[in-house]
Amino acid sequence: MRRGFTLLEVLVTLGVASVSLAAIAHSTWSIVLGRRASDLQQAATLIAERRLEELLANTAEDLTARDSSESVADATGALLLRTLVEPGPRENLWHLSVTATPPRGGAPVRFHTLLRRRWVLP
């Protein structure tokens, strides 16, 4: 009676183990990339939301039509922030829009609203 494994059994076992390890490594890498993308989207959302809240806090005298872009540095990287303030469809409405684009081709996050401000008479 022989003891031990044949060379073929050892090779098959090593093949199955290496395929399993490769699958685990691929899954781990996918999780890391997904987490990074999620962090970028969250940072873009928070920055855009903060900017829109700043615009909403303005009084009627502070609102002027503008379209500006700037780079905002964050712990996750630099984001491109575009702010658009324009007159709305009626004379006492303003259209406010903020778009934050994460670096490296992330999906842009856009918030917009209509803001009613009464005209201030001099």
Tens-binned pLDDT, residue by residue, of the chain (122 aa): 678 889 999 999 999 999 999 999 999 999 999 998 888 899 899 999 999 999 888 876 778 889 999 998 877 778 899 999 998 888 788 899 999 998 877 789 999 999 887 655 44
Domain 8-116: give its CATH code: 3.30.1300.30
The C-alpha angle with vertex 43 and arms to 39 and 47, in degrees rounded to 5, equals 175
Residue-level pLDDT at 120:
53
Residue-level pLDDT at 1:
65
Q: Which of 68, 65, 67 has its CA nearest to residue 87? A: 65
What whole-number distance in Å separates Cα of residue 56 and Cα of residue 49?
Answer: 11
What whole-number distance in Å separates Cα of residue 21 and Cα of residue 16?
Answer: 9
What whole-number distance in Å separates Cα of residue 116 and Cα of residue 60?
Answer: 9
Q: Taking the mean position of all CA atoms in its chain, how far away is CA 11? A: 46
pTM value is: 0.73
Residue-level pLDDT at 118:
67
Q: Token pair for residue 56?
A: 């909403």
